[in-house]
């Protein structure tokens, strides 16, 4: 049973502060207006601590972990 996790962004809460991209540039980059673009796929294990930090540091709590298998 795969335990892959990805990052999920609440796009309405997100207001382009950009801390996530500073902390996790391997997975997050900013578009031309400062809003995050997530790299697709699960979070590599060695980046999990940084991902956790990005989630905690987001000033508006827009970032969260999500399991990759999600059924509607």
Partner 1 sequence: MTRLLDAPDALTALPNAGKGLIDAIERSGLVGRGGAWFPVATKWRAVAERSHGQAVVVVNGAEGEPQSKKDRLLMTTRPHLVLDGAFLAARVLRAARIVLYIGERHDVARNAMLRALAQRTEPERRIVTVSAAPSRYVAGAETAAIHLINEGIATPTTAPPYPFERGVGGAPTLVQNVETLAHVALIARTGQAPHTVLVTLAGALKQPGVLEVEKGTTVAEAVRRSGGFTEPPRAVLVGGYFGTWVETQRALDLELDHGSMRRHDLGLGCGVIGVLPTSRSPVRETAGIMRYLAQESSAQCGPCFFGLRALADTCTRIAEGTSKPEDLKRLQRWAAEVRGRGACRHPDGAVIFLSSALDLFASEFANDSAYALRRTA
Partner 2 sequence: MTNSVLWYTTRGAGAVTLILLSSVVVLGILSTMRVQSRRWPRFLTTGLHRNLALMTLVFLALHIVTAVVDPYTNLGWAAALIPFSSSYRTLWLGLGVIAFELLAAIVLTSLVRGLIGHRTWRAIHWLTYAAWPVGVLHGIGTGTDTLSVWMLAITAGCVAAVGVAVFLRLTSGSADPLAGARTTFRVAVDRREAR
From residue 5 to residue 44, the character string flagging contacts with partner 2 as x (rule: CB under 8 A) and all else as - is --------x-xxxxx--xx---------xx----------
**If contact means CB under 5 to 8 A according to the sort of partner, which of partner 2, partner 1, none does residue 49 touch?**
none
CA gap 57, 54 in Å, rounded: 5
Instruction: Tell the smallest beta-carbon distance from residue 26 to partner 2 (Å).
Output: 15
Site of interaction with partner 1 (CB under 8 A) = 9-16, 31-35, 37, 72
């Amino acid at each position: 049973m795969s335990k892959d996790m990805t990052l999920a962004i609440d796009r309405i809460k997100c207001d382009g502060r950009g801390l996530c991209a500073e902390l996790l540039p391997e997975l997050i980059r900013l578009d031309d207006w400062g809003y995050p673009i997530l790299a697709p796929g699960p979070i590599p294990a060695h980046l999990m601590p940084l991902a956790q930090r990005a989630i905690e540091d987001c000033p508006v709590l827009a970032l969260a972990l999500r399991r990759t298998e999600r059924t509607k």
